[in-house]
Amino acid sequence: MSAEPILELKNVYSSYGRIKALKGISVKVFPGEIVAMIGANGAGKSTTLMAICGVVPIETGEIIYNGKPIHGTNAEKLPPMGLCQVPEGRRIFPRLTVEENLELGAFYRKERAAIDDDLAHVYDLFPILKERRRQQGGTLSGGEQQMLAVARALMTRPKVLLLDEPSLGLAPLIVQKIFDIIATVNEEEGTTILLVEQNANMALQAAQRGYVLETGTIKMEDEAGALLHNPEIRKAYLGE
């Protein structure tokens, strides 16, 4: 593990009006890791990702990416820097074809040959998308749309991928497929992943380290295996 984190939040505060969403959270993500962030609804998990991406402004604290502060950076400038989010709810373009959605993932890139190579690569990762490449995104199943959202993010060639609730609303077999792809992308591409997920069991099995959020604060952080076997975590988040 590198001595320096590729992504770090230092004592970050953020609010929605009078509601304090993040209350001084500090998070480190090192190159090549999968880091899971678990917690109940309203804990601040998605807000953390949106703060990193500049969608939700922070009041105080710092967000450091690749050694440089990025808080205050416009969200559209982050993918060319290697930081890309797959938002909750997929957010694909329903009237565009699968291939057009994927091409949009590379909209800021110029090198056509490399884009074509990456398109072939995501089709290898997601064969169903190749089969459906001429279909409109809105005609895909929920699981296929989630695959498309991940594949579109991969077309940006991310160094750090932020995944927000990738298993939400999906059948168990599709969830397993998505998590298999997450592991492959991390292992084969070396992509660093910050994973926000309500399925704590799947998230902690996939990750090396984890953070537990509770009402906008970090309640606990540890190796993922230790959190997975922690009785308090098992009772609160794994239904035991």
Question: Are β-strands 217-223 and 209-214 bridged in parallel, bridged antiparallel, or unpaired?
Answer: antiparallel
pTM of the complete model: 0.93
Widest Cα–Cα separation across the chain: 52
Residue 140 has pLDDT above 60, yes or no: yes
The fraction of the chain above a pLDDT of 90, given in percent, is 79
Phi, psi of 32 (to 5 degrees): 85, -5
The 10s digit of each residue's pLDDT in 47-59 is 999 999 988 999 9
- pLDDT reported for residue 2: 56
Which secondary-structure segment (H or E) carries 79? none
Nearest to 192 by CA among 212, 216, 209: 209
The stretch 30-40 carries a mean pLDDT of 96
pLDDT at 1 over 90: no
Question: If you average pLDDT over residues 188-216, what whole number do you get?
Answer: 94
Decide if pLDDT at 240 tops 70. no
- Asked if residue 115 has pLDDT above 60, the reply is yes
Q: Tell me the domains of the chain and their CATH numbers.
A: 7-91+146-237 (3.40.50.300)
- pLDDT score, position 108: 86
- Of residues 2 and 16, the one with the higher pLDDT is 16
Beta strands (DSSP E) in the chain are: 7-16, 19-29, 34-38, 60-65, 68-69, 83-86, 160-164, 192-196, 209-214, 217-223
pLDDT digits (tens, 9 = 90+) for 65-92: 999 999 988 888 999 999 999 988 778 9
